[in-house]
Amino acid sequence: MVKPRKQIYTLQMYLQKMMDMDIRSDADVQRMSGAWNNAMMNELVVSVLNGDYIPPVILGQEKNSQAWIIDGLQRSTALMMFRHSNYKVSASVEEPVIAYKAKARDSEGEVKMDGCGDIIWETKEFDIRRKTYKQMPEELKKAFDEYQIETVIHENYDMQQISRLVRRYNFHKPMNVSQKAFTFCDKYARKIREILKREFFIEAPYSKAERKNGTMERIILESVMVIFHVEDWKKSSQIGAYLNEHSSMEEFAILEKGIERLENIITDGLYPLFTAKNSFLWFALFHRFARLNMDDGKFTEFLYAFQNGLNEKEINGKTFDEIGQERSTKDRSVIMEKLDFLETLMLEYLHVDKENLEETGSTLEFVREYVSQDITQEDIGLYEDMLKDFASKVDTESNLLDRKNHASLIAVIAYSCRKDIKLDEWFMDYFKRNDSYISGQTENYRHMKDDLEEYIRIANAA
């Protein structure tokens, strides 16, 4: 049998061959076209316009020269829809702005030349959202039509052999939801993989399939989401993209620090609690436990108690396992209910009054995380006194003094003390220039710290 050969066509020529039925898309056992959703079609169009790589289309060709698409049907039909069927790229396309080179023209439309008679070229941008092929500038139409699409042709095949080829090339498993979500979190992907190399994940009894199918990466994404962004909780398909935009390396580092502490206290008998379904809840609960400033061994004691019957205790008429039985376990309301249930159970076991928890506990944790781990409760008391003194010199009605903004204010005072920075003048100046704050205390602290450093830089330059 003749070995397959490569053939490169311009995209315009390839699609014309499809229209002329020189290349057909309806081989006997081929699945139907149209299996791709808009997101897949959008990315394919953008790939072509940006000149990115697209895998070859596999063709089977009969002795009479009739060619059939073996692999690449969805790509082929998607490109056909954009080029000839008025498909409009949807607004959700990930990278909508296409840069391209165009001849510079004057007000009358004439091509501009430089002093040497050479054409002047300029870089332009085109937003592809809600646009069809016909609405693109001529330069992008040309780029689309001239795109080089590679085909691999199996020659002299009959239909039975072509059907066998279809089966062979389609023996693959597409990415599942978790694996695809992880691809959108490229900023932190390497950090996530580093965390998953920790001893905790080696010892925990996750299955072989869970270690390969994206479940482990999903656990880390869900853990960061529920600890730092639970108010904006996203389902699995959206979580990677959300964290890529809204998370930070510090948040992943804080999660890893918690897991490191758990490695020192979790025994073999407790690892079964950390299932693929519930691991992120236990990580989030330990994060809340850390605010209590108790010995980590107390958390171990609670886990044993939970495992040995406390899990059957009812709160508001439900046990832990009964929460959300009629709803998706990944609904935000279910997650919040489960986490609050576990925290209530833990605080009761540890004899801590939930209603009277000291806010300074969470403030201490915040300052330790973002300023220095060796800051003590006594230090926090000093910073509180300094804040009261500073606050007496500014507008006491300022929104910046809201309790919700308390942690970041204490943190910037702690930072100034550690750096031996005199804060009085900056504090009053900052309050004159600002009357609102970023609700996320991590981001607000960073904003104030950057502002303080810039204030000092300008003062020193003067």
Domain layout of the chain by residue ranges:
5-92+138-169, 177-356, 359-461
pLDDT digits (tens, 9 = 90+) for 232-277: 888 777 898 889 888 888 889 989 999 999 999 999 999 999 999 9
Detail the DSSP E strand segments found in 80-194: 97-103, 121-127, 148-154
Question: 105 Cβ partners below 8 Å, 6+ apart?
Answer: 111, 112
8 A C-beta contact, residue 188 and residue 249: yes
414, HSE (Cβ side, Cα atoms, 13 Å): 28
Question: 236 Cβ partners below 8 Å, 6+ apart?
Answer: 177, 178, 181, 218, 222, 330
Q: How far is CA 205 from CA 184, 211, 212, 274, 283, in A?
A: 27, 10, 14, 8, 16
8 A C-beta contact, residue 128 and residue 45: yes
Regarding beta strands 97-103 and 67-71, do their DSSP bridges make them parallel or antiparallel, or are they unpaired? unpaired
pLDDT for position 145? 97
Across the chain, which has 462 residues, the per-10-residue mean pLDDT values are: 87 96 80 76 94 94 92 92 94 90 91 90 94 96 97 90 80 76 87 94 92 92 91 84 88 92 94 94 92 85 94 87 74 88 92 60 78 82 89 88 88 93 92 86 89 90 76
pLDDT for position 155? 92
